[in-house]
Structure 1
Amino acid sequence: MENGEMTGNGSLVWHYTDGLGLNGILKNNTLWASSAAYLNDFKELVSGSDRLKEVWELDEYADVREELEKSLEGFKTPREEHFILSACESGDSLTMWRYYGKDEVSFAVGLDRDVPLGVRAQSKGDSHPFPPPGYEEGPRDPNGQLEFDPDQDGQSVEGWDPMVYERDEQEKIVAQALSKLRDAFEVAKQDRSVFSFPFLMEQLSLHGQLNRIKDNAFRDEQELRTLAEVSPAWKYVLHRPGRYGLIPYVELGLPKGGTKGRKRKFPDRGGPQEMERLPIRQINIGPTPYLEEAKFGLLQFLSFLGYHDVKVEVSSIPYR
């Protein structure tokens, strides 16, 4: 089997899962993105901050360090409020097959990396169904309206980014992003700007680079990820049982009607937002002595759900 057949020639990212997970993905047209605070790497989204602290200590930032640190404070989002969907660069990774294979057949779902995903709204409502005490308290404008609406609807889903594992490369990208931020800060200070769009963009860019940094111990995973944030949480966040208790997660996919306002499509009977078919282009079957049975079952399942154009391949790794 040609390697390109298993990898999609770089146009795909590979989400590994077991049979139960694949069943849910195909039937519900969704993928689960879990809260960053509940993943196996307990330093998820923290390793980048560690590397930033090291770069901070360089003399070239001494004169602006305090002001830059203060400017970045407002961009710190709790890890619990970041949701991560992970994938792999390889569609035939022994590391990933070992992790997901165990006693069952495992699968690598090849997703079109160029199709942007959105977060599924779980409720059609516009206000918290059971607001806690103090939910609507806060500063108000002269008309009596809250300056910050806790039910203001919004979501952000990033594209697929590869993780950076090597320390030298981590320090390099952080230093580059920090230097650009410092330059934008100096320009804004000279212009005496109350608000500087270029400075804002460099702040966002720095945080994006920090989120790509991962401990080198996980390098064999060859991870790419998409990162999602949502507001308000009650409209999007679900919970599932796991080793850490009830784990917050959101559903990613292609929401019908888009991801904003009244254009969203909801079932007449009520329930979460309707979803389009996921951008799945290929599914690889992991190492198993039952390749023919596994392939027949998967092809039949795909046919029943209308995924007639999805290619199916089997791993060539002699692992059992």
Structure 2
Amino acid sequence: MAIPKKSKTSGDVTVKKSSPDTKTPAHLTHYTDLAGLKGIIENNELWLSHAAFLNDPQELEHGVEQTKKVLNNLLDGKAVEPTATARQKLIKDIADDMENFERPAAYIVCFCERSDILSQWRGYASRQGVSITFKMSGLRSCFSELDAELLQVAYGINEAKRHLRTAIAEKFPDIVDDFDYMLGTEEDDAIRRKFKDLLATLVPRFKHYGFREEQEWRLVVRNPPIDKLKFRPRGQLMLPYLELKSKNKKLPISAVRIGPGVNDEAVEKSIRFFLETCGYDPDLVETSSTPYRT
């Protein structure tokens, strides 16, 4: 099965689905707190955090570990022909590279396909959570300052392996096909560098199966210019992030949902007033139907 092709028009964010059969959602939702809502609305932008500093630092390791397993599977067969022997050595060199694989400089903001998920509200149990729902078409067209991609997350080991095998077969036939390898003109070092580049695009897309409820998509910018980086303190860390500004006057927001908490009526009234003051329709505000209380 071929890798899904990029779906993009001039100036649009690239959208990559986890499968060609996946239906692209009409809306995506970002979960945050009141401070996050204020910053997004007033500054007309989204903040993208460095992937190495996500709440779960093991997320990137999941993709790296699955890559190692796929490469080891490719090494299982015995090489009898000279080209096959050379190919196996190349794969082994790439597998060895994975031991010191440099995690990609990817900056990410996360979205879910659903706007009222209990596990997400629990993440904001110590403060008032809100979810901001965006029109997918608007997300694709309003960010053009940096080269961004909107990636659907693939959950579980089997999905990660399927993506990796497909990517290797499509992008590197010289690794999996003896004849192509024999006729190839590229040096092994060049192939290894390109393989690392490929992994940098794939690793942020993989997540443990236990998180599948989120139905997550990620807006990703890789290797941004150094002068675009900002930093903010969190605990003992200085977290790098990007400000991704909309080229439109308003963000493509279709709903703002108030997460479960205390004094919901007062919270709703204050958010409606805030949105109206910022030029958004106050009727965008909804309340959570989740029976969870802090």
Name the TM-score, length of structure 1 as normaliser. 0.67
2:152 to 162, 177, 180: 162
SS in 1 for 2:161: helix
Following the alignment from structure 1 to structure 2, what is the Cα–Cα distance between the partners of residues 15 and 65? 44
Confirm or deny: 8 A CA contact 1:68 1:182 kept in the other structure. no
Following the alignment from structure 1 to structure 2, what is the Cα–Cα distance between the partners of residues 226 and 189? 39
2:232 to 240, 243, 248: 240
* Shift of residue 294, structure 1, vs aligned partner: 2.1
Show the counterpart of 2:135. Answer: 112
2:149 corresponds to which letter in structure 1? E
Show the counterpart of 2:267. Answer: 294
When structure 1 is superposed on structure 2, of 178-187 and 37-46 the one drifting more is 178-187
Confirm or deny: 8 A CA contact 1:119 1:236 kept in the other structure. no
Show the counterpart of 2:218. Answer: 225
Confirm or deny: 8 A CA contact 2:155 2:208 kept in the other structure. yes
Show the counterpart of 2:284. Answer: 311
The two structures, once aligned, show a CA RMSD in angstroms of: 3.5
Q: Deviations over 1:271-304 (max 9, x none)?
A: xxxx742222211111134333222221211111
2:124 corresponds to which letter in structure 1? Y
1:192 corresponds to which letter in structure 2? T
1:222 corresponds to which letter in structure 2? Q
SS in 2 for 1:46: helix
Following the alignment from structure 2 to structure 1, what is the Cα–Cα distance between the partners of residues 111 and 219? 8
Following the alignment from structure 1 to structure 2, what is the Cα–Cα distance between the partners of residues 48 and 214? 7
Please state if 1:88 is matched with 2:88.
no
1:163 corresponds to which letter in structure 2? V
* Shift of residue 189, structure 1, vs aligned partner: 5.3
Confirm or deny: 8 A CA contact 2:255 2:284 kept in the other structure. yes
Show the counterpart of 1:213. Answer: 206
* Shift of residue 227, structure 1, vs aligned partner: 1.4
When structure 1 is superposed on structure 2, of 170-179 and 243-252 the one drifting more is 170-179
SS in 2 for 1:302: helix
2:108 corresponds to which letter in structure 1? I
* Shift of residue 244, structure 1, vs aligned partner: 4.5
SS in 1 for 2:261: coil
Show the counterpart of 1:31. Answer: 46
Please state if 1:284 is matched with 2:257.
yes
Between Structure 1 and Structure 2, the one with more helix by share is 2
- Using a 3 Å threshold, how does the CA distance of structure 1 residues 87 and 231 change in structure 2: closer, same or farther? closer
Q: How many residues align?
A: 253
Show the counterpart of 2:71. Answer: 56
1:290 corresponds to which letter in structure 2? N
* Shift of residue 217, structure 1, vs aligned partner: 4.2
Show the counterpart of 1:251. Answer: 243
Following the alignment from structure 1 to structure 2, what is the Cα–Cα distance between the partners of residues 309 and 296? 9
Name the TM-score, length of structure 2 as normaliser. 0.72
Following the alignment from structure 2 to structure 1, what is the Cα–Cα distance between the partners of residues 131 and 202? 27
Q: Which runs of 5+ in 1 are unaligned?
A: 1-8, 121-154, 257-274
- Using a 3 Å threshold, how does the CA distance of structure 1 residues 205 and 81 change in structure 2: closer, same or farther? closer
Q: Which runs of 5+ in 2 are unaligned?
A: 1-23
- Using a 3 Å threshold, how does the CA distance of structure 1 residues 158 and 180 change in structure 2: closer, same or farther? same
Equivalent pairs: percent with the same residue?
A: 29
